[in-house]
Amino acid sequence: MTTKNKEKWLARNTFHHGEFWDIIKLVKEKEKKGMSISLCIPTLNEEKTIGKEVLILRSELMERYPLVDEFAVIDSGSSDKTLEVAKNYGADVYLASDILPEVGDKRGKGENLWKAIHQLKGDVICYVDADISNIHPRFVYGLVAPLIKQEEVQYVKAFYDRPLNYSSGLRSSGGGRVTEILIRPLFSLFYPELTNVIQPLSGEYAARREVLEVIPFPIGYGVETSHLLDLYEKFGLDAFAQTDLDRRVHRNQTTNALGKMSFGILQTFFNRLHAQGKIDQMPDMETFYRRFEVEDGVYSQLIQEVIEEERPPMIEIEGYRKRVLPT
């Protein structure tokens, strides 16, 4: 992509949530086009933040302004009160294990996102993470608006400042460490056009059903990366848009957790490189993530298996086809 084309894409496909402040206008456009929108929050032990998210998003975007037609929390089997709290505040709540039971149950965020395609009915599905302490309606309307307004846009990613939440208070800058250290270098090497996506690993995005149902879903850490690579391969960069949501405050991940995440993402990435013909031969890849800990001067190697299993495109699942395809 030339510099001129890059600037053109950024100008046409990058938005700020403030452009979409008139939610009444968005609702009218949505209704005129006969669109329906489903909101999904995937959860696992999020009782501290889920109530506030459901309360704010439901009251503003379903009751005050009917932008969202369906609002569901899909849970991986929380041991706390996540589902109870979400239900009390008005969300539809589901266990991922109860959706499409004939395909079995796997644990992971990607599993919840994938099963949401079957469970929810909207033409557009918007995904929002459950750990956002500064939740605001812009996390939804900022993402669905480009899909309402531009038919050629298929998938919208969020980007934002990401101050990290420490016990001593907020740090003014930081976050996106896996993006900057791993994803951006890999994209620069193999998919330079995708470096235009400012925060490829953001957990907030919205997409049309017809594109979500034709791509596979890793059940773990690689789901956001796989979405970008698979949709870019199928539809090109013009299918993407991105919206600046200003600021997102969330829990800080430890360096060890980020290492495990990166290990899973790399498995997904190399599988895509091979499938898309960018490398000729796939080596046998280890699935054991190794790191060291030290205590009282003694070093110990910790070994943990990380397998990036994938679910097939939802359109290949018989139970889904029976639900959405005419008989």
Judge contact between 258 and 177, C-beta under 8 A.
yes
pLDDT along the chain (327 residues), means of 10: 80 96 98 98 96 98 98 97 97 97 94 98 97 96 98 96 53 65 95 94 96 96 96 96 89 83 94 92 85 84 90 97 85
Helix 223-235 / helix 109-119 crossing angle, nearest 10 deg? 50
> Domain extents for the chain?
3-324
Cβ-based neighbours of 162, under 8 Å, separated by 6 or more? 174, 175, 176, 247, 248, 250
Contact 285, 270 (CB under 8 A): yes
Helix (H, G, I), strand (E, B) or coil at 305: strand
Q: Which two tokens stand for residue 47?
A: 């009782």
Residue 173 confidence (pLDDT): 40
Gap between the Cα atoms of 101 and 134, Å rounded: 35
Upper half-sphere CA count for residue 26 (Cβ side, 13 Å): 25
46 burial (CB, 10 Å; 0-12 / 13-18 / 19+) is buried
| Whole-model pTM over 0.85 | yes
> Beta strand pairing status for 92-95 and 124-127?
unpaired
* CATH number belonging to the domain at 3-324, selected among 3.40.640.10, 3.40.50.300, 3.90.550.10, 3.40.228.10: 3.90.550.10
Element holding 236 (H helix, E strand): none
Distance CA 67, CA 27 (A): 5
Are 164 and 133 in contact, with CB atoms under 8 Å apart?
no
**Closest to 218 (Cα-Cα) out of 201, 195, 236:** 201
User: Please, what's the b/e burial string for 303-326 (b: 16 or more CB within 10 A of its CB; e: otherwise)?
Assistant: eeebebebbebbbebeebeeeeee
